[in-house]
Amino acid sequence: MSHETALPDKPLIEIASSAGWCFGVERIVDLAEKLLASEPLPIYCLGELIHNPQEVKRFEARGMVFVKSVNELPALKSGETRKILIRAHGVVPQVKQILEKRGWEIIDGTCPLVTIPHQFAKKIAEDGYRLVIMGHEEHPEIQGILGEVQGLKVRVDVIPGPEAIEQLKLKASDRVGLISQTTHPYEKFAQLIGEVLKRCLEVRAYNTICQATFDRQDAIRELAQKSDVVIVIGGFKSSNTARLAEIAEAYTESHHIEDVSELKGEWLQGKKWIGISAGASTPHRCIEEVKERIAQLTAGTGAQVSAHVSG
Catalytic residues: 141
Minimum CB separation of residue 175 from ligand SF4 in Å reads 27
Residue 13 as a binder of ligand SF4 (CB under 6 A): the answer is no
CB 106 within 8 A of CB 100: yes
CA 227 and chain centroid, separation: 23
CA 195 and chain centroid, separation: 25
Task: Select 114 or 248, whichever has its Cβ closest to ligand SF4.
Answer: 114
Sign of the dihedral defined by the CA atoms of residues 31, 33, 34, 40, in that order: positive
In this structure, which amino acid lies at residue 95? V
Stretch that binds ligand SF4, among 1-9, 18-26, 121-129, 157-165 (CB under 6 A): 18-26
Task: Select 165 or 178, whichever has its Cβ closest to ligand SF4.
Answer: 178
Residue 77 φ then ψ, to 5°:
-70, 160
Which 216-255 positions form the footprint of ligand SF4 (CB under 6 A)? 240
Phi-psi label, residue 60: left if phi above 0, alpha if psi -120 to 50, beta otherwise = alpha
Q: Distances from the Cα of 281 to the Cαs of 19, 57, 108, 158, 236, in angstroms? A: 10, 14, 18, 24, 11
Q: What does the per-residue mask of binding to ligand SF4 show for 24-53, with x meaning CB under 6 A? A: xx----------------------------
Residue 113 as a binder of ligand SF4 (CB under 6 A): the answer is yes
Cβ neighbors of 248 (< 8 A, separation 6 or more) are 220, 223, 224, 230, 232, 254, 275, 277
Task: Select 66 or 267, whichever has its Cβ closest to ligand SF4.
Answer: 66
Residue 183 as a binder of ligand SF4 (CB under 6 A): the answer is yes
3-state SS, residue 82:
strand
Minimum CB separation of residue 76 from ligand SF4 in Å reads 29
d(CA 91, CA 256): 28
CB count in 10 Å sphere of residue 243: 21
Task: Select 26 or 187, whichever has its Cβ closest to ligand SF4.
Answer: 26
Task: Select 46 or 280, whichever has its Cβ closest to ligand SF4.
Answer: 280
Minimum CB separation of residue 179 from ligand SF4 in Å reads 13
Q: Which residue is nearest to ligand SF4 (CB)?
A: 24
Candidates 206, 252, 247, 249; CA nearest to 229 is 252
Task: Select 213 or 227, whichever has its Cβ closest to ligand SF4.
Answer: 213
Q: What does the per-residue mask of binding to ligand SF4 show for 80-109, with x meaning CB under 6 A? A: --------x---------------------
Stretch that binds ligand SF4, among 124-132, 186-194, 205-213, 247-255 (CB under 6 A): 205-213
HSE-up of residue 148 (Cα within 13 Å, Cβ side): 23
Residue 114 as a binder of ligand SF4 (CB under 6 A): the answer is yes
Residue choice 181, 213, 238, 282 for contact with ligand SF4 (CB under 6 A):
213
* Contacts with ligand SF4, residue ranges (CB under 6 A): 22-25, 88, 111, 113-114, 182-183, 210, 212-213, 240, 280
